[in-house]
Structure 1
Amino acid sequence: MSSMLLRPFRKTLTTHGLIYLADEEQPVTIKNISITGVLAQLNSKVGKNDIQRIFNTFLGSTIVDIYLPEMRLAGEVEVIRVDLQNDHILLALEFRNVNYDVNDLLYKRKAYRKNLPGPGQILFNDEYVEFNAVNVSVDGMMIRLDETVYVEPGLVTVFEFKKLDLEGEIKVVWLDHVAGGGTLMGLQYVHMERSAIKGIPEFAWPKTA
């Protein structure tokens, strides 16, 4: 009885969304939800090769990205359990780093932003400056520099971000000097193939009129 009381209440419902799995955005149907996670079913039927490919994905990491537009929720979840039912894969997912009320932000930004800290370099005034990424999307990234940097929005320069094997031209869209030192900066890719950014979903859900 005590174990039943400790288990989070799960509400049965049917809602739809996208999950980024095996380097692909895949449609899912949510079967139930609790304050700690959801039970999601992959909409497409799977064969033996598909099952093996998905299990191989979890050998690297059990953290995946999810977007549920009807619930205005997006972010990272952890795969706790995988089941096969009627040729469909069921995933028990636990919330790890999710944001709520995200639809307006996705509409303004045009693409989902994944929290992905990591070091990189960007060229200002003929000198490379170290930065730490805050988040990354298929369109650009937000970074933080430890020093106060003065550049004009619209400046095009070059950068390198080894965590995703990204390098090339990038444009400064905005910057904000942080109290106590440091600079936050929004960057947009220039002359880069979007398809080359593996590991980052777009999550562009069709808009209704």
Structure 2
Amino acid sequence: MAEERSYRKNLAIKGFVYMGGQELEVKVRNVSITGLLAELKTEGVMNDVKDVFQAIKLSPVIDIYLPELRVAGEAEMVRSEKVDGHLLFALEFRNIYYDVDNLVYSRRAYRKNMAAPGHVWINGESHTFTTENVSVDGLMIRLEGKLDLEPGAVLRYEFKRLELSGEAKVIWREQGEETTLLGLEYLYLEKDSIKGVPRFIHE
């Protein structure tokens, strides 16, 4: 009996992956509902399978963005091989968002889902938050309780997971029954220097 396998559609479209602290261009060769096969197009960065395993030694889960398919999120590297001089990646989808609006991505950076603790100071008092997602532009955070904050307020923050600290501006606020959700924009921060978070904005 033939091994059961999800239907794979052959393609030749551009995409991007983020691993080893670098954004790399790939050509998607085929895709299914569970994953994809891609060929590395960025030259001079990785030359062999051992370079791939070095890049994912801390975690096999990497960020991906496929503009033409309007897909973004995380995928796990399940195989890498070199065929006829081409370095190939087999990726299995993990946390994927479909129907990503291209217009949104042309204006704002990729948002990486990340749940990690941090601290923010409001009126001199320290509050612990948990991130919902992060980007090179800012953070979406959740705090316990209802907090009276207006857009435009500037807060001091510390987020050790990404080694970030400084000031951020409140862009929006959403009140829940027992929590407050805030959208924060970094102030005075070099946005291309955030290690671990891709930008995924390309011409």
The two structures have a TM-score, normalised by structure 2, of 0.94
Residue 46 of structure 1 deviates from its aligned partner by 5.2
Whether the 8 Å CA contact 2:19–2:56 is kept in 1: the answer is no
Amino acid at match of 1:181: E
Counterpart CA distance in 2 for 1:201 and 1:176 is 26
Equivalent of 1:197 in 164, 174, 194:
194
Equivalent in the alignment of 1:104: 103
Residue 12 of structure 1 deviates from its aligned partner by 1.0
Residue 41 of structure 1 deviates from its aligned partner by 0.5
Equivalent in the alignment of 1:128: 126
Residue 86 of structure 1 deviates from its aligned partner by 3.1
Alignment of 1:161-176 (within 5 A): 161-176=159-174
Residue 67 of structure 1 deviates from its aligned partner by 0.6
Counterpart CA distance in 1 for 2:186 and 2:43 is 36
Residue 137 of structure 1 deviates from its aligned partner by 0.4
Which aligned segments of 4 or more residues in structure 1 are displaced greater than 4 angstroms? 45-51
CA deviation string 1:70-119 (max 9, x = no partner): 111111000000101233310000010111111233234x1000001100
Whether the 8 Å CA contact 1:46–1:88 is kept in 2: the answer is no
How large is the Cα RMSD of the aligned pairs?
1.6
Residue 44 of structure 1 deviates from its aligned partner by 3.2
Q: Percent identity?
A: 45
Counterpart CA distance in 1 for 2:173 and 2:45 is 48
Counterpart CA distance in 1 for 2:163 and 2:149 is 25
Residue 172 of structure 1 deviates from its aligned partner by 0.6
Amino acid at match of 1:104: L
1:31 aligns with 2:5: no
Whether the 8 Å CA contact 2:114–2:132 is kept in 1: the answer is yes
Residue 49 of structure 1 deviates from its aligned partner by 6.5
Equivalent of 2:175 in 174, 177, 191:
177
Equivalent in the alignment of 1:144: 142
CA deviation string 1:44-65 (max 9, x = no partner): 3458866544311221100001
Equivalent in the alignment of 1:155: 153
Whether the 8 Å CA contact 2:26–2:38 is kept in 1: the answer is yes
Residue 21 of structure 1 deviates from its aligned partner by 1.7
For residues 48 and 170 of structure 1, do their structure 2 counterparts lie closer, same or farther at Cα, with a shift above 3 Å needed? closer
Q: 5+ residue gaps in structure 2?
A: none
CA deviation string 1:122-156 (max 9, x = no partner): 01010010000000000001000111111111011
Counterpart CA distance in 2 for 1:47 and 1:78 is 20
Amino acid at match of 1:205: H
The two structures have a TM-score, normalised by structure 1, of 0.91
Equivalent in the alignment of 1:40: 38
Amino acid at match of 1:164: L
For residues 145 and 59 of structure 1, do their structure 2 counterparts lie closer, same or farther at Cα, with a shift above 3 Å needed? same
Amino acid at match of 1:171: K
Whether the 8 Å CA contact 2:48–2:82 is kept in 1: the answer is no
